[in-house]
């Protein structure tokens, strides 16, 4: 079975998001392992370096806060993931990204739920991305994860799959029900985001906004956006409990995947995520505090 090593380090420095090594069009690069990306993506700077053939189909994607991003396509990106091997060539989105990502050497986004495997296991705690032949075995094996984690791992609730059968890129992502300070919300499962956040425009965002503090600016593909911060917020996803600083961000979800915000690596770093034939299963360590 194919296995790739997940790293939490870039250029010798700690990095809070998961990356794997590989190449695009024969050019070495880092892939950000991003469940928030509903398809694999190549950055334009790397596409240019790899001399990929680009086409315009009038496509438009959205960034983290739902702002539109003009996109191109390439049909032969020649993805190769170290330890996993080459991926089948297919139409792939190409986007412009901030120069900061280029400086880090992150040239592509890998959508693990869209890999060419019957079952894909994203073990964020152990740092492993692997293929499996049996979804049933992997779901059962999640219980064994408790052998090295206390308290016992907890299952996440049933997700909603976001798909668009009319799109040739065949996008796929997942949204989970949760509560943030007793406010019911729907959160996109997003390993490409460091911090769990809510849209200002969501019902929960409007309700919680009066207690928010000024936050840091986020640098997104569409530019900088100002945020606010909710300190020490109780978040619940199924039986998983945590107290986190939660961001409030502008924008809104795109119509193809309604949501109130994202569930990010501040929670998911403790989780094993299993993707199989359009389905999503997960087990996370239960907690009452911030991740370590």
Q: What is the pLDDT of residues 225-254, one digit of tens each?
A: 789 999 999 999 987 888 999 999 998 877
Res 138: pLDDT: 78
Residue 289 has pLDDT above 60, yes or no: no
- CB atoms closer than 10 angstroms to residue 155: 16
Res 282: pLDDT: 87
Q: What is the mean pLDDT of residues 28-49?
A: 96
**At 150, is the pLDDT very low, low, confident or very high (cuts 50, 70, 90)?**
very low
Res 166: pLDDT: 74
Taking the CA atoms of residue 279, residue 283, residue 289 and residue 292 in that order, the dihedral angle to the nearest 10 degrees is: -100
Q: What is the mean pLDDT of residues 27-32?
A: 98
User: What is residue 142's DSSP assignment?
Assistant: G
- CB atoms closer than 10 angstroms to residue 197: 30
User: DSSP string spanning 29-92?
Assistant: EEEEE-TTSSS-EEEHHHHHHTT---B----EEE-TTS-EEE-EEES---EEETTTEEPPP--E
Radius of gyration of the chain (CA): 18
% of residues, the chain, pLDDT over 70: 87
Please state, in angstroms and rounded to a whole number, the distance separating the CA atoms of residues 45 and 35: 22
Q: Name the β-bridge partners of 33.
A: 110
Q: Provide the mean pLDDT of the chain.
A: 87
């Amino acid at each position: 079975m194919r296995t790739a090593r997940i790293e939490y380090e870039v250029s010798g420095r700690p990095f809070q998001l998961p990356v794997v090594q590989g190449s695009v069009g024969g050019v070495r690069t880092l892939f950000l392992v991003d469940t928030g990306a509903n398809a694999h993506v190549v950055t334009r700077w790397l596409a240019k370096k790899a001399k990929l053939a680009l086409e315009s189909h009038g496509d438009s994607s959205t960034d983290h806060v739902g702002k539109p991003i003009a996109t191109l396509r390439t049909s032969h990106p020649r993805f190769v993931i170290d330890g996993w091997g080459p991926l089948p060539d297919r139409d792939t989105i190409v986007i412009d990204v901030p120069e900061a990502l280029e400086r880090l050497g992150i040239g592509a986004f890998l959508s693990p739920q869209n890999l060419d495997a019957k079952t894909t296991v994203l073990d964020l705690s152990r740092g492993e991305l692997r293929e499996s032949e049996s979804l049933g075995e992997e779901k059962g094996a999640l219980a064994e994860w408790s052998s090295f984690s206390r308290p016992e791992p907890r299952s996440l609730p049933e997700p909603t799959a976001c798909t668009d059968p009319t799109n040739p890129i065949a996008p796929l992502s997942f949204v989970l029900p949760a509560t943030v300070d007793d406010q019911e919300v729907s959160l996109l499962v997003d390993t490409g985001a460091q911090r769990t956040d809510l849209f200002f425009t969501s019902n929960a965002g409007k309700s919680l906004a009066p207690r928010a503090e000024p936050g840091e600016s986020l640098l997104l593909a569409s530019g900088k956006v100002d945020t606010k911060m909710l300190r020490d917020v109780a978040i619940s996803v199924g039986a998983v409990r945590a107290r986190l600083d939660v961001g409030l961000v502008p924008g809104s979800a795109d119509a193809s995947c309604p949501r109130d915000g994202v569930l990010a690596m501040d929670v998911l770093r403790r989780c094993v995520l299993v993707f199989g034939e359009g389905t999503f299963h997960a087990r996370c360590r239960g907690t009452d505090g911030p991740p370590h």
